[in-house]
Amino acid sequence: MRNRVKIAGACCGLIAGFSSAATVQTGQTFTYKPTPAGGSEMVWYLVDWGDGTVTPTWHGLAYCSPEMSKVWNRPGTFKIQPQAITVSGRRIPLTGSPITVSGSVMKESVPLPAKSSGAPQATDESRQPQSYTIHFDRIEAVDRLELAKENGAAFPDNFCVEVSTDGGKVWNDIPAAVYRHFPDPGNKKVCIPLHGLSASDLRVTSYSPPKNVSGKYELRMKDPVAFGGGKLFCMDADPMAEADWNNMWLTYGSAANEVLHNFDPWWPTTRPDEGGLLGIGSTIWSHWNAMKGSWLNDPASRKYYEECVNSYPQDERGLMGVAPGTFYHLDHSKHPVATALFVSGVSQWYLMNRDPAFLQTKDAKTGVVLIEKVRKAMKFLLEDMDGKTGLLTNHDPKSDGTVKGFGSNYWDAWRFGYRSAYDATEFYISLYWMAQLETALGNADKAAEYMALRPLVKQRFNEVFWNEETGRFIGCEGKDGSRHDYGFTFVNLQAVAAGLATPEHAEKILQWLDGERIVKGDTSTGADIYFWKVSPRCNTLAAEAIKPSFWDDWNTEVGPGATGEYERQVQNGGHIFYVSHYDLMSRLRVKGTDAAMKRMDVILGEFHKDQLHRKPSNKFGITHVEGILCEFPESGLVPLFMLTGIMGIEPEAAGLRIEPSLPTAWKYAAVTEYWYAGHKYSIRAERGLQQPEVNGTSIKVPAEGRWLLKPGGDVIKW
């Protein structure tokens, strides 16, 4: 692994500028943060590294700036000179910084072999798009694209980079690689980061080409040059599907090639620049954040868990707030389920990173260490919410599970409260994670208590929440005895994926979703349940179908012609993409991997069309219809199925469990960079292998069986 050197630009608050003594070695990954331009206009930064190369960034708000990486291959003293370019075309010079690079000259990177389509033809049309296309003989993972000006030609002041994974039949924009008002780089190379983007072809397109010396419009540059890296996910599958799977993670997992308004993958963007993001800093997302980020060497995820997660308030009983400084979601209602999510998230993060200091982090306001907050949170679930009886109950009088109550979980447009199947599922999951955490800390007796409670929770869940008439779980039982069943697909699929549903109940749920069984009276039945293709409708019975409605109209109304009418609102007949993760895991659990892959193939096919950059509006102009982009970082759970499902990787007290479930047609599946217990591993599951093979941090395990990677690096049968 290369050493990393992190130095801030002047006035960034990290280091007050450079000194001439600041040095870095050739071959080291150097991390640089330009001085923020200031203000709230959208900008992108262009950094001249002083060695004949310049690097542009994606767009963001001017009061922030991104971290950029650079590796020098030759020694010398260089002047780093950044500037910011606004969306209106202003160029803002920023303070430059010298850097001394020591060490020996290193070999230059070898470009990927590619064929160029050649230069476009000059035209009198100023708005006729012109492109340079490069084609690879096979799908490649591309780390960066280099562009250079041809002598005598004008460099385009606007262009974008587009990608294809099918030989040029379908093209998609790369959101982070769209530039306006690009300064003339002179004889310098323009190095555009692509972060391992999978591509069969890349295209540099200008939609308003520059004028040539003859007054015609012509995009003319040297042939683009691509440099490769490694694919994150490798599988014995169709190369295009493998590419799309990797790119789905880049879009919705790491969000490395998305536009991020704060230059930070933990801050959502707003229209028209909406894209994927890595996480959101709220307790409601704390477990999803751990699922997505705990296996990455990602500074934003690490900052969230090691600096922010212990800033959430906790009352004297153990109830967790939803965000720093507040117990109320959007100033509306409390979310007791965030307490269970907090337990699961902290536990999974620790089990992945194995850093004892993490659990001893102190709350800056109260001084309480993190492990005590986690234990107090579990006590709240067991005692104040009656979890020890096997049936979680929310006693908040404002969230009583009736048609007059307030919502109390992520699905905030519904009045979940009192006895909620959604909350009960998260409680069941948190018992597992807390037991694993306590086992890892040497508290086997306490861990056994949590594991012993899970069968009772499962029994009570199926007794209380099963609706025999519809053959699925209800969403909620109110304090007044009311039972609310709107065909909540997200409730049912997560319960099946978690192992809460009995085999008979799980089978009936999938029959309903697949249209093999019609529920009388539902608004959506049969194939229409998957109207949105990439995931099922969130509910199959319209919120307005029952009066009075269980819908919480605090932010939108339902009913004929209303803004939240069925199919016009993300929580009422719309969909949220993350549910497909639990759909895939459910099918794997009940029907096997091949059945799950049929669903994944549909998702990959839809992603191939437009990378799911979908934000349709209803007739009122409201864009909360499909929940994929912007404030939905949990979309990244879907490509994570490669790890959670196909490779069966999950931390537990004894180590990292690897329990592959390869599709019948696959010979192998692999992840090339997986961080566990402070070490970077590549892990591969392979058919025909009889015993694990360990070569340093490169690990191969048989595709059949259950294996354990210990924190020290040994692999054993488990």
The DSSP code sequence of 205-217 is EESSPPB-TTS-B
Is the distance from CB of 76 to CB of 109 less than 8 angstroms?
Answer: no
User: Among the listed ranges 4-13, 222-231, 439-448, 538-547, which one has the minimum average pLDDT value?
Assistant: 4-13
Predicted pLDDT of residue 4: 32
Predicted pLDDT of residue 15: 28
Predicted pLDDT of residue 274: 87
Distance from chain centroid for Cα 530:
22
What pLDDT band is residue 267 in, cutting at 50, 70 and 90? confident
**Helix (H) or strand (E) segment spanning residue 510:** helix 503-513
Rounded to a whole number of angstroms, the distance between the first and last alpha carbons of the chain is 29
Predicted pLDDT of residue 5: 37
- Dist CA 5 CA 216 (whole Å): 47
Enumerate the H helices of 367-420 as residue ranges: 370-379
Q: Which two tokens stand for residue 451?
A: 């594991």
Q: What is the pLDDT of residues 378-390, one digit of tens each?
A: 999 999 999 999 9
Is the distance from CB of 485 to CB of 474 less than 8 angstroms?
Answer: yes
- Dist CA 268 CA 259 (whole Å): 9
Mean pLDDT, all residues of the chain: 93
The DSSP code sequence of 22-49 is -EEETT-EEEEEPPP--SSSEEEEEEE-
What pLDDT band is residue 7 in, cutting at 50, 70 and 90? very low
Q: Which pTM value belongs to this model?
A: 0.95
For tokens 């010398």, what's the residue? Answer: 76
Predicted pLDDT of residue 46: 97
Q: What is the pLDDT of residues 325-372, one digit of tens each?
A: 898 887 788 899 999 999 999 999 999 999 999 999 999 899 999 999
**Assign residue 260 a region: left if phi > 0, alpha if psi is -120 to 50, beta otherwise?**
beta
* Buried residues in 66-98 as b, exposed as e (16+ CB within 10 A): bebebebeebeebebbbbbbbeeeeebebebbe
Residue 545 has pLDDT above 90, yes or no: yes
- Dist CA 40 CA 680 (whole Å): 38
Predicted pLDDT of residue 683: 98
**3-state secondary structure (DSSP) of residue 56:** strand
Highest mean pLDDT among 263-272, 308-317, 472-481: 472-481
Predicted pLDDT of residue 202: 98
- Dist CA 676 CA 655 (whole Å): 9
Q: What stretches of 418-532 adopt beta strand conformation (E)?
A: 419-420, 466-467, 472-473, 476-477, 483-484
Q: What is the pLDDT of residues 187-196, one digit of tens each?
A: 999 999 999 9
**Assign residue 528 a region: left if phi > 0, alpha if psi is -120 to 50, beta otherwise?**
alpha
Residue 621 has pLDDT above 80, yes or no: no
User: Among the listed ranges 9-13, 240-244, 469-473, which one has the minimum average pLDDT value?
Assistant: 9-13
- Dist CA 654 CA 711 (whole Å): 8
For tokens 């041809």, what's the residue? Answer: 150
Q: Which two tokens stand for residue 718?
A: 């488990």
Predicted pLDDT of residue 330: 76
Summarize the confidence of residues 163-174 as an average pLDDT.
Answer: 97
- What does each C-alpha distance from 172 to 201, 278, 630 come to in angstroms? 11, 21, 18
State the maximum Cα–Cα separation within the chain, in Å, rounded to a whole number: 83
Residue 138 has pLDDT above 90, yes or no: yes
For tokens 């007794």, what's the residue? Answer: 463
Of the candidates 540, 714, 647, 672, the one whose C-alpha atom is nearest the C-alpha of residue 229 is 672
**Assign residue 362 a region: left if phi > 0, alpha if psi is -120 to 50, beta otherwise?**
beta
Residue 301 has pLDDT above 50, yes or no: yes
Is the distance from CB of 611 to CB of 605 less than 8 angstroms?
Answer: no
* Residue type, position 314, single letter: Q
* Residue type, position 487, single letter: G
Of the candidates 622, 491, 638, the one whose C-alpha atom is nearest the C-alpha of residue 577 is 638
**3-state secondary structure (DSSP) of residue 525:** coil
**3-state secondary structure (DSSP) of residue 512:** helix
User: Among the listed ranges 15-24, 89-98, 164-173, 594-603, which one has the minimum average pLDDT value?
Assistant: 15-24
What pLDDT band is residue 10 in, cutting at 50, 70 and 90? very low
Q: β-strands 189-206, 328-329: how paired?
A: unpaired
Q: What stretches of 500-599 adopt beta strand conformation (E)?
A: 575-576
Summarize the confidence of residues 629-653 as an average pLDDT.
Answer: 97
Q: What is the DSSP letter of 381?
A: I
Q: 368, exposed or middle or buried, with CB in 10 Å at 0-12, 13-18, 19+?
A: middle
Predicted pLDDT of residue 77: 94
- Dist CA 676 CA 678 (whole Å): 5
Summarize the confidence of residues 447-462 as an average pLDDT.
Answer: 98
Helix, strand, coil % in the chain, rounded to nearest 5: 25, 25, 45
Of the candidates 301, 342, 282, 324, the one whose C-alpha atom is nearest the C-alpha of residue 631 is 282
Q: Which two tokens stand for residue 279?
A: 């996480």
Of the candidates 598, 432, 444, the one whose C-alpha atom is nearest the C-alpha of residue 499 is 432
Angle of CA points 246, 630, 564, to nearest 5°: 125
* Residue type, position 344, single letter: S
- Dist CA 385 CA 642 (whole Å): 35
Is the distance from CB of 360 to CB of 295 less than 8 angstroms?
Answer: no
Enumerate the H helices of 286-389 as residue ranges: 286-293, 299-303, 337-353, 356-359, 370-379
Q: What is the pLDDT of residues 11-66, one digit of tens each?
A: 332 322 343 457 899 999 999 999 999 998 999 999 999 999 999 999 999 999 99
Q: What is the pLDDT of residues 548-587, one digit of tens each?
A: 999 987 768 888 888 889 999 999 999 999 999 999 999 9
**3-state secondary structure (DSSP) of residue 516:** coil
Predicted pLDDT of residue 152: 87
Q: What residues form DSSP beta bridges with 626?
A: 575
Predicted pLDDT of residue 14: 31
- Dist CA 274 CA 626 (whole Å): 13
- Dist CA 326 CA 65 (whole Å): 28
Q: What is the pLDDT of residues 66-100, one digit of tens each?
A: 999 999 999 999 999 999 999 999 999 999 989 99
Instruction: Output the CA torsion 368→363→291→379 (10° steps).
Output: 30
Enumerate the H helices of 137-220 as residue ranges: none
Predicted pLDDT of residue 13: 28
Predicted pLDDT of residue 23: 87
